[in-house]
Amino acid sequence: MKYLLIVDDHADIRRLLSITLGRQYEVLEADNGTAALEVIRRYHPMVVLLDVMMPGELDGLDVLDAIKADPASKDTVVGMVTARGQQSDSDQARKRGADAYFIKPFSPLQVVSWVREHMP
């Protein structure tokens, strides 16, 4: 099974992404960083769409670091979906291993086409 994980504390955003992607992929959801890492450990999703600013112990960048640090998950494709719009933010995320950087508000159709590139 090819899994796709959506991590965001906002249920509306998770729903927006899941209704566009859910038709083609098996979609998993998590509303905080700790839960996201648990899901990744258990289901090994191919692609993770990751919010940066989330309540809880781990924010999106921490989760990104954890994914890239673990040999079991380091090949996971990560797309950041965030409200942080600065060039410096996206630069930093790419440096830490993110494959794409979507700034909110984003085009769901663009996200779908990007995911399709990585999950045929």
Partner 1 sequence: MNRGGAIWPDTSSRDARILLIVWVTTALLLLVTLLHVYSLEKEDRLRVLAAADRDLYNLTRVSQEHSNRTFRSADQVIRFVQSRYLEVGPKLNLADLSARGVIDTQIFNQVGVIDEKGIYILSNLPLKGKMDLSDRDHFKVHVARETGEMFVSKPVLGRASGKWSIQLSRRISRADGSFAGVVVVSIDPGYFTRFYADLDLGSKGMAALYGLDGVARARMVGEVADFGANADKSPIFSLVEAGGQAGSYTQTSVVDGVERLYFYRKVPGFALVVVAGTELRYLLEGHVAARDALYFQALLLSVMILFLATSLTYYLQKIRKEIASRRLAQLQSHERSMQLSAIFSMSPDGFVSFDEGRRVKYVNPSFCRVTDISPQSLQGLDEADFSARLAAQCVSAARFKGLGSMSRPDLAAGSMEVDIIELVGTPKRLLQVGLLQGDTASVPLILYFRDVTQEIEVGRMKSEFLSTAAHELRTPMASIYGFVEIVLADQDLSDTHREYLEIAYRQAQVMTHILNDLLDLARIEERHGSDFRYAPVNLQELLRSVVHALPIPVGRERPGLNLSTQALVVVADEGKLRQVLVNILSNAYKFSPDGGAVDVVLEVQQVEGIRMACMQVSDQGIGMSAEQIAQVFTRFYRADASGRISGTGLGMSIVKEIVKLHDGQVTLASNLGMGTQVSVLLPLAAAGSASEAAV
| Residue (44 or 84) nearer to partner 1, CB | 84
Shortest Å distance, C-beta 52 to partner 1: 9
Shortest Å distance, C-beta 43 to partner 1: 25
| Residue (40 or 81) nearer to partner 1, CB | 81
| Residue (56 or 85) nearer to partner 1, CB | 85
Binding residues (CB under 8 A) for partner 1: these are: 10, 12-13, 16, 19-20, 53, 83-88, 103-109
- 94, 68 contact by CB (below 8 A): no
Shortest Å distance, C-beta 15 to partner 1: 9
Shortest Å distance, C-beta 11 to partner 1: 10
